[in-house]
Amino acid sequence: MGRMAAIDGLLALIDVKRAGGLELVTGEVPALLVDGGTRPLSMPALSRETFAALLDEVLDPEQRARLGPEAAVDGVYRSKRNDRSFAVSARSSGDRTVLRFVTTTVPAAGDAPDLVSLVSDALARGTSDVILSEGRAPRLRFAGDLRDAGGPPTTARDIEALVAAHMTAETRARFEATGSADLACTLDGGRRFRANLFRHQSGIGLTLRPIRERIPTLDELGLPRSLAALGALPDGIVLLNGPAGSGKSTTLGALVGEINRTRAAHVITLEDPIEYLHAPARSVIHQREVGTHVESFSAGLRAALRESPDVILVGEMRDLETISLALTAAETGHLVLSTLHSGTGAMAIDRIIDVFPDAQQMQVRIQLATVLRAVVTQRLLPSTVPGERVPAVEVLRGTYGVATQIRDGKTHQLATQMQLGKDDGMIPLERSLVDLVRAGRITRETALGAARSPEELERWLRD
């Protein structure tokens, strides 16, 4: 029996045992993924040599090269034995590597809905989110509108089977301890999703958001080309700001892609979970996942400062320690990219300062005024093309005047700075909305509904 028959023989047991997938770990007995856990097979543990041979069968040379210490790869493997496809994820941490296979069709239990087929159909129809809730029919979001997908209610078993192959021990422990957990899933023939598993009054729920298969450019996203200059900055903090679901992570991915194409830089990303997979081009990129490769954003930031980075991406600035370390990183000659959830650039600045105790806030104002390079606030609005959304942006640049107002605690005056700062790359929201209306990408009514100053918008539309 050749090598390929060995891995295909193991994968054949998934159907025989009606399991959700297979897990192989260096030096351990292979195990099937069953009912949210693992069930070891009756066979010896895998030696390092055998495990390495299986990796060579499953991963191509480029993927094997990327699977170094503290690194991960995802892909699809098709069995020659029965022509079945399996989503594959490989995670390496020191001397221990975990190789997981998950079927692209979840084994049905009785009359339970086939959720993988539902997800596949939803993607073909252009959904942006799939929302599953125990005891309720699935819901799908299209261009911001939530619709009932029809069919019978989803069960806890359906949801657990869908994510079982993607739940690491750390992710499961976090879910059990806190009632929610972020993770990345590979479904639908290798398509990747950002997911959140959570408990609610009636059981458990799951949200799935597809990740683009190719990292988009700023132009493809319909964002101002001037944002590319932010990736060329040698140091400081650039914040992507906006409500949940406004495309901040996608814009960050595009910005890192721009850096990768144009700069010889060492980029370290800290994500929860890893979304876009960046293949090194001009830059060297190390992607680390919270809960898998690092304990927390703050722990990852502390370690990154010792790893000779030029650019550090922090998925979200959630707490005082992470924000404090990000400010320090920016002060010491690194470019820090991160996200915040707030409505305007001024609100983002206030939110950072308010995290700190009163006694520290003056010092933080001085720090932030020194290192802030830009706050890009974005919203997704219904397009004139049915089923599509387009971004409207507000860009606040860290000019001398902006820095002065931050130090003086006059962030309420930053809107005026944006109105006067066109030559410095500032873009008020209303100006972005006017450009979208004139380009025929959104309607006048949509723009007026999104504007903070409808009167200002009307004046600019008349000019």
320-346 pLDDT, tens per residue? Answer: 999 999 999 999 999 999 999 998 999
55 contacts 77 by C-beta, under 8 angstroms: no
Most confident stretch, 169-178, 188-197, 453-462? 453-462
* Span of 128-137, 185-194, 397-406, 430-439 with lowest mean pLDDT: 185-194
The structural domains of the chain, with segments of one domain joined by +, span 3-103, 115-210, 225-427
What percent of the chain is predicted at pLDDT more than 70? 92
Each residue's pLDDT tens digit, 21-75: 889 999 999 998 876 678 888 888 898 888 888 888 888 776 777 776 656 677 6
Q: Which residues of 3-26 are buried (b: 16+ CB within 10 A; e: fewer)?
A: eeeebbebbbebeeeebbbbbbbb
Query: In the CATH hierarchy, which top-level class contains the domain 115-210?
Result: alpha beta
Q: In angstroms, how far is the first alpha carbon of the chain from the final one?
A: 77
Q: Domain 3-103 is of which CATH architecture?
A: 2-Layer Sandwich (3.30)
334 contacts 259 by C-beta, under 8 angstroms: no
> Residue 5 is encoded by which pair of tokens?
């028959």
Q: Is omega for the bond preceding 61 within 30 degrees of 0, making it cis? A: no
Decide: residue 62, CB within 10 A, 0-12 exposed, 13-18 middle, 19+ buried: exposed
289 contacts 181 by C-beta, under 8 angstroms: no
Phi, psi dihedral angles at 57 (to 5 degrees): -70, -35
Task: Tell me, yes or no, if the two domains 3-103 and 115-210 fold the same way.
Answer: yes
Lay out the sheet containing 203-210: strands in order across.
145-148, 139-142, 129-133, 203-210, 191-200, 180-187
Q: What is the pLDDT of residue 433?
A: 95
Q: What is the pLDDT of residue 299?
A: 92
Q: Which residues of 218-252 are buried (b: 16+ CB within 10 A; e: fewer)?
A: beebbbbeebbebbebebbbbbbbbeeebbbbbbb
Q: What is the pLDDT of residue 121?
A: 76
Which among 10, 211, 188, 210 has a CA at the least distance from the CA of 85?
188
Q: What is the pLDDT of residue 282?
A: 95
Average confidence score pLDDT of the chain: 86
Q: Output DSSP code: residue 155.
A: -
CATH number of 225-427: 3.40.50.300
Q: What is the pLDDT of residue 280?
A: 87
Average pLDDT over residues 153-169: 82
> Predicted confidence band at 113 (pLDDT cuts at 50, 70, 90)?
very low
Q: Which residue has the higher pLDDT, 8 or 428?
A: 428
Average pLDDT over residues 227-247: 93
Average pLDDT over residues 113-128: 75
Q: What is the pLDDT of residue 1?
A: 34
Distance of CA 192 to the CA centre of its chain: 10
Question: pTM of the full predicted structure?
Answer: 0.69
Average pLDDT over residues 295-299: 90
Q: Are strands 180-187 and 145-148 parallel, antiparallel or unpaired?
A: unpaired
Q: Which residue has the higher pLDDT, 290 or 72?
A: 290
Average pLDDT over residues 277-298: 89
Q: What is the pLDDT of residue 212?
A: 74
